[in-house]
Structure 1
Amino acid sequence: MRKRYFIAPLILLALAGAYWLGRVQPRASADGMAAAAPAVAANADTGQGPASTMPSTSRARTGSYFAGLRAGADAGDVTASTRLYRGLSLCHRLRAMDWSNAMLASELLEAQTRGMTPTQLEGYRMQLDGIESRRQNAARMNERCAEADAAMMDALVPSVRRAAQLGEPHARACYLAMGPNFDMRALARHPEWIDQYRGSVPGMIEAGMAAGDWAVVNILRGAYQPDADGLLAGVLGSDPARHFRYLKLYRLGAGPGDIAVLDQQLAVAAARLSPEQRNEAETWAETTFRRDFHGRSSVGAPGLDRDPCVFPPE
């Protein structure tokens, strides 16, 4: 029964979708859309509002769930902004998995049952029941995602950026770490996102540090590492002194299981610096740890997942 192990991704997607479908409202109210309009108009020329945040071609579908969330996000509603980027992210993953899910279901349905023991047959029946349940769940998810036209689906990266600008920590970690690379197919159609990312990074770093966000520290210690790869590393540039700063700060809040590895990394990083640079970096790290992180450990801090763009349930 090798095939039964292939169904795990379907289960995870189904659970995420069931949770999301349980959270959404059928449609944004007309009052909510009207309330958002003044803020939308006021921000049109600032470079921070909806004119630079979401593709204007999506605005026609003002009655849809996603358009209502986008209006709320453009008006500064963090909750709406969070639901928008997570909903669009789920729709992207759902569309990408539709074909593979169908193939996996076909494989299971074509499995030969002759020779199976009663226990194996019962397990097979349960898997078939699970496929049908997940099929129905996926159909409901697809119905919700069908409200997002191509232009709205292209708004995944701008929606993450908007939520990050509003201070939502998971969006901030994802956007700093991935930027427009989070949706590379859309990036090919929107090269201007690179400049938007370059302009957004300094403010998000400052806001994350002021908020005592360990995920930001974790991302920066990697981005500043000499010869680091990735878009953020390209924007910030290699800086051994700053790498040591953030590495030292991360070490101050580390849990017992990370200390040995971090101490080894600190020793390697310190060898690249002069004594004056090391002293300055250690003083900065200790001051920042007390002032902005209040001596808190990073253990269990949100956003420290291996992939910062895997979002938790709301």
Structure 2
Amino acid sequence: MKSKALVFGISICLFYSSRCLAFTSVTKSTSRTSQNIHILQSNSFTTPSSISLNFSNDPKREIDVEDTNVSIKEKITLRQTADVIFYRIALISASSAYAVNQIVALLNSGGGAGLPEETLVALQNNSFLALEWGVLLSALFAPPYLGAITDTNKENDVDNALFLLLNELLPQLAGFAIFFEVVNLVQRNLSDGPVGSTLLENTTSIFISLICLREIGFFGASYKAEAILAIFLCIVLGLNDVIGFSEVALTSSLALCLLVLSFGKVFEPVRDDLEPNKSAFFKEGNLQ
């Protein structure tokens, strides 16, 4: 940066020197030579200060500084990029497993399409297990926010700070869920009693809702309409015993929302999962 400033300063000095030489040649052809020489000396005396003033206030210089700040701001480490990639892979895997689960459920209800019942049941159970662990790993790999969570920065107001705090809590909640699930699996393998519902079965909808809230906080509600619908469907599924809607329709709609949410992230910049900007890349048409 110093070399750029030196080159820029030398160019300005040369520019002013040429101006001064041209001005001297003109003043020699006039009758008021002494007065012009005095003016020239005054200008030459004030030239360093004028150069310094122009150098500090020059718009080109400000653009260079801004460009430097932008390049520093956009610098993302390999670890942060890996966090985003793992998060997206886990989310895509979870949504794909949920879609497979729903397809197998529809085939099973329609007669199995010639497939053995044992195969359909095993495929449905395994796909639902992959959904549970995929959602849990998505929460565990939620990329951390690049900056500090404050409510004083204009880019991190109080509302945005709540989403950022949720983003920090997601991996911790997933870690607790994994611990209790491992303990539950050990107890199930050691006991001969009936197998009850696991922790993941009871918390999958909660983690889906939390992940959707994170996506809304980072990318904006207008760009994450499927996340809003997914949260609504999770709430309805939790109250479905009272409401009495078709569970197949609700779960199929939820699986479709997760597919749109997860595969849409393939086209999102890596930085947008590290720092919320309300999908500015989409508004500007910049997919880089």
Fold in common (TM above 0.5): no
* Structure number, greater radius of gyration: 2
Higher helix share: 2
